[in-house]
Structure 1
Amino acid sequence: MKKNYVLDTNILLHDPYAIFRFDDNNVIIPIYVIEEVDQFKREGSERGRNARQVVRLLDELREKGGSLSKGVTLESGGFLKVAVPASRPELPSAIDKTAMDAAILQTAFEVREADGGRPTVFVTMDTNLRIRADALGMVAETYENQRVEPQRLDSGVTELEVSADDIDTFFQEGRFAPLAQFIAPEKGEKIERPSTASLAVGEASPRNGFLIANMSVLLRDRANASHTALGRYDATRREIVSLRTPREGVLGVRPRNKEQSHALDLLLDENIRLVTLVGKAGTGKTLLALAAGLKRTVEDGVYTRMLVSRPVMPLGRDIGFLPGDVGEKLNPWMQPIFDNLEFLFSSGTKKGPRAYAELLESGQLQVEPLTYIRGRSLPAQYIIVDEAQNLTPHEVKTIITRSGDGTKIVLTGDPEQIDNPYVDSASNGLSVAADRFRGEKVAAHIVLTRGERSELAELAANVL
């Protein structure tokens, strides 16, 4: 039986194409949602862009399919209708959000009653409104199409139990060929899942029990747990290869744990075009990305420029407008980047806390916001997007599609520290990108779990 899906405003503002995501079911948009969308159409933000796109899509459907009040047929076989409740046809003030929420929810109840008891689901990303709907007897769900539960994201690191001779050979030759049953199948290729517990279990084990492209691997001696080796699975060669992390570190920065060793290896490999680094505060995400980017850009000359950016999203209450030109306005937002650069150049080969000023003047290093990235083409550049958890999936798509030939993009962030009120740990662009690119040969993902900033920072991250 077809279901009725009644959509809240935040669904359309999050994904304008949500009206096409419900297969052959009925999609109902309350008239109050249309009025709320109208309040955002003049904004220059992502939310405003989505509001305008929703209006255009609905107008196209109206022109092609007829009256939206009677309903139009979608290409998926579904049915779209704009509903006006009979008991309350007047529109409440958009300023009164509580009244608007109540009117939208009331519409969902009237749709259910008018359709002879057909299963009706109220879809909203507003947690409080879902609770209210459930308490009143309405089935309520969140929008799942672009959501990735944090538990689904594997760590990017797995363990493989091998013999002592295999580890010794790996150290000598720098490669190890795992059994075919542990390798993720190619498209159209059928390989049975491993029937033994040779692959790691628990949080570190890969989904579906397979090795996937660019997954970091810890080879462990099954007879001696302390006898280990670090490697990365190369899907092209179908082998586990040794890490290419320099023994002396990068710009004075040396990995302090195995996850950082894996991360630095991924950041330095120009064959991997997209890296997602996820971790709590103090795990070294930004510092490692900057160190690797400076080495590959300035020292090795692989990239023409390193572009560092982060979303302009305040923590807590905003202080309002800032004086000065563009550079002066952006300085408070970009200060975390400059702090890390000062540390690198103070501890690395180039002494002096402001030694990076030469790179800024020459154009090899550029620090800017994401505001003006749309429409640009960025070839042969090392791009780092810090605090990417505050971006929507569409914004991340916009950034990644800017990459030209030879460009590498690094997304860093912590899905548990989100300042953007319109995304959460499951719907932010960083989590979605990590999940969608899983297993691609040009992409890699890793989770950093151990804080290395200081003993106090690590303690605060765990206990507060």
Structure 2
Amino acid sequence: MPKEQVDTNTPANTKVFVLDTNILLHEPLAFTSFKEHDVVVPMTVLEELDYIKDSKKDVARDARVSIRAMEDLLRDASPEQMLKGVSMKGIGSGDTAPSGRLSIFADLSMDQQAQVFTSNENDNRIINAALYLQQDLSPIQVVLVTKDINMRLKAKGAGMALVEDYFTDQLITDVKYLTKGYYVFGGSFWQQVEAVNSITEGRDTVHTIDKSLVPDPYINEFIVDENKEFAGLIEAFDEKTLDVLDLGYERLMSRRAWGITPKNIGQAMALHTLLDPHIDLCILTGPAGSGKTLLAMAAALEMVIEKNMYDKIIVTRSTPEIAESIGFLPGTEEEKMAPWLAAITDSLEVLHKHDENVKGSMNYIMEKANIQFKSVNFMRGRSLQNAIVILDESQNLTASQLKTIITRCGEGTKLICAGNLSQIDSNYLNALTSGLTYLVEKFKNFSGSATLSLDGVVRSRLAEFAEKEL
């Protein structure tokens, strides 16, 4: 998009965003997310997408989706129009629909004298393209968008004035604002309730209280108090009132699943959610050692073996990038996945540690509950019916990857997503852009889902101290 080809009708406040490859792998349709602003995709990015689309990497599909979407837009454009930019009007609707232009920049043919970096690395080519456009299109603001932290540092050091991460799919500004799944009243709950209307049906009692007592309430949010006198669950609300199901603090703490009882109120709330047949999606967040995997496994065994509510348990997680292709490991898919799902087998050992033959018990239970270990990379195209799906280490997945898994869940399937936002291994994700964070915020008002953030580390006093001090 050389300056002489810039549309003179372009508003003065319009920016030009140069996209890195990882943006289009993170969100294949990201180029449509910049509203009235123009988007430039360097030729080097298309080269990288071309290489990735034919690879065996999990992001190969995302690369293909992005390429097809750009081809649909640019199919009838001439080479001159592609350089100048093709309008994205008509894609999508509403306030977020794009109205800017998409163009391809032939950075591979740039004059070497115009390049800051002389080495031929792809990142350097993309930065060179952004720097060239920054100078050529001045005073129009040019922004390089990348999820690669080191690339952002290199670009700024090379003279790029505006370098950003991709925030379009970021729903909160700080992880401390992330929904916890419960609200704690200081002191006694009943001392703060001035008016209440209670209705008892069978064993259940529902209290209707003033909505102003709970800031920003949502369906399936727990309510507890510091005095350990009250525990409830928000079932419904309108503009003025809240309907709260009285769970009873002591009753909640006495819940039991496969021999496991909660060690704190957070685990009690999580166990209640896990065992609730009306909840299709359970999201458990919290530090290492807070009991996420153990509670999920105990509840799953209880519902499959004791209550016969589901037919099987499918355990899956994202494998590290070095093992995206698990083919080099010996054995069946379950045996290949075993090293990455050791947390599950560790939990099974804990649940049966008092048995006379622990290994024999584990083998029996795995067969009885039809426990299957699956790689998240091979979940596409499947339809999971009447099963409990435990998705461990979900903090390392993007929103699109989580969508792929959730849309696999058919009738009668319960999905449990567990993850620790402080242990993200992905090169391009952080606590704010993780798919787990996106999932928590997007589903908090869905009546078929519930979120619980577990605070206390109950693994050991050593683990608790390490979580706080290291």
**Paired position in structure 1 for 2:397:** 391
SS at match of 1:177: strand
User: Are 1:401 and 2:407 counterparts?
Assistant: yes
Equivalence for 2:423: 417
Partner residue in 1 for 2:164: 141
Rate the CA distance shift 1:227–1:447 in 2: closer, same or farther, 3 A: closer
Aligned to 1:188: none
The reply on whether 1:88 has 2:110 as its aligned counterpart is yes
CA distance in 1, matches of 2:268, 2:199: 16
Which of 237, 240, 244 is the equivalent residue of 2:244?
240
Residue type matched to 1:367 in 2? Answer: F
SS of corresponding position for 2:25: helix
Alpha-carbon deviation of 1:297?
1.4
1:121 to 138, 143, 146: 143
Q: Give the whole-Å Cα distance in 2 for the aligned partners of 1:40 and 1:356.
A: 40
Match of 1:179 among 203, 206, 209: 209
Is residue 197–residue 208 contact of structure 2 (8 Å, CA) maintained in 1? no
Indicate the larger mover: 393-402 or 143-152.
Answer: 143-152
Match of 2:312 in 1: 305
Please say if residues 310 and 334 of structure 1, whose CA atoms lie closer than 8 Å, have aligned partners that are also in contact.
yes
Distance 1:261 1:169, change over 3 A: farther
- The letter of the residue matching 1:272 is I
Q: Indicate the SS of the match to 1:259.
A: helix
Q: How far apart in 2 are the matches of 1:320 and 1:97?
A: 35
Instruction: Give the structure 2 partner of residue 79 of structure 1.
Output: 101
Q: Give deviations 1:260-305, integer Å, cap 9, x for gaps.
A: 1111111111111111100111000000011111111111111122
Q: 1:41 aligns with which of 35, 50, 53?
A: 53
Q: Quick one: distance in 2 between partners of 1:327 and 1:378?
A: 17
**1:154-165 alignment, distance < 5 Å:** 154-160=179-185, 162-164=189-191
DSSP-derived class of the 1:155 partner: coil
**What pairs with 1:46-65 in structure 2 (closer than 5 Å)?**
46-65=58-77
1:169 Cα deviation from its structure 2 partner: 10
SS in 1 for 2:360: coil
Matched, 1:444 2:450: yes
Match of 1:460 in 2: 466
- Aligned residue for 2:54, secondary structure, equals coil
Change (3 A) 1:46 1:97: farther
In structure 1, distance between residues paired with 2:466 and 2:133: 49
Give a deviation string over 1:215-253, Cα, whole Å, max 9, x none. Answer: 111145xxxxx3531221112794221337472621221
**Identity in percent:** 31
Q: CA deviation at 1:351?
A: 7.2
Check conservation: 1:10, 1:126, Cα contact below 8 A.
yes
Moved more, 323-332 or 45-54: 323-332
> Which stretch of structure 1 is more off in the superposition, 250-259 or 418-427?
418-427
* Alignment coverage as a number of residue pairs: 430
What does residue range 34-433 of structure 1 map to in structure 2 within 5 Å? Answer: 34-67=46-79, 68-75=82-89, 76-85=98-107, 88-89=110-111, 99-135=121-157, 136-148=159-171, 149-160=174-185, 162-164=189-191, 175-180=205-210, 182=211, 194=212, 198-199=213-214, 209-219=215-225, 226=227, 228-235=229-236, 238-243=242-247, 245=252, 247=254, 249-313=256-320, 321-347=328-354, 352-362=358-368, 364-433=370-439
In the TM superposition, residue 379 of structure 1 has moved relative to its aligned partner by 1.8
Is contact 2:289-2:463 (8 Å) kept? yes
Q: CA deviation at 1:170?
A: 8.2
The answer to whether the 8 A contact 1:6-1:29 is kept is yes
| Partner SS, residue 402 of structure 1 | coil
Q: CA distance change for structure 1 residues 358 and 169 in 2, over 3 Å: closer, same or farther?
A: farther
Q: TM-score, normalised by structure 1?
A: 0.83
CA deviations over 1:313-343 (Å, ceiling 9, x no partner):
2899x99943344443332222221111121
Instruction: Give the distance between the partners of 1:319 and 1:303, measured in 2 at CA.
Output: 28
For residue 456 of structure 1, report the CA deviation from its aligned partner.
0.8
Separation in 2, partners of 1:124, 1:4: 14
Structure 2 unmatched runs, 5+: 1-12, 90-97, 113-117
**8 Å contact 2:252–2:272 — kept in the other structure?**
yes
- In structure 2, how many angstroms separate the alpha carbons of the residues matched to 1:155 and 1:123? 31
Q: How far did residue 50 of structure 1 move?
A: 1.7
Find the aligned partners of 1:355 and 1:170 in 2 and give their Cα distance. 47
Q: Is the 8 A contact 1:175 1:239 kept in 2?
A: no
4+ residue segments displaced more than 6 Å: 165-173
Letter in 2 for 1:17: L
Aligned AA (2:74): R
Verify the 8 A CA contact 1:343 1:353 in the aligned structure 2.
Answer: no
User: Aligned letter for 2:330?
Assistant: P
How far is 1:97 from its partner? 8.0
Matched letter for residue 5 of structure 1: F
Contact 2:205 2:245 in 1 (8 A): yes
Q: Which residue of structure 2 aligns with residue 204 of structure 1?
A: none
TM-score by length of 2: 0.82
Rounded Cα–Cα distance in structure 2 between residues aligned with 1:265 and 1:216: 10
How has the CA–CA distance of structure 1 residues 62 and 51 changed in structure 2, closer, same or farther, with 3 Å as cutoff?
same
**Structure 1 letter corresponding to 2:101:** F
For 1:443 and 1:109, the matched residues in 2 are separated by 46
> How many angstroms apart in 2 are the aligned matches of 1:52 and 1:248?
48
Alpha-carbon offset, residue 373 of structure 1 = 1.4
8 Å Cα contact 1:315/1:419 also seen in 2: no
Q: Does 1:18 align with 2:41?
A: no
Paired AA for residue 190 in structure 2: S
What is the RMSD computed on CA atoms of the aligned residues?
Answer: 3.3
Unpaired stretches in structure 1, ≥5 consecutive residues:
91-95, 183-193, 200-208, 221-225
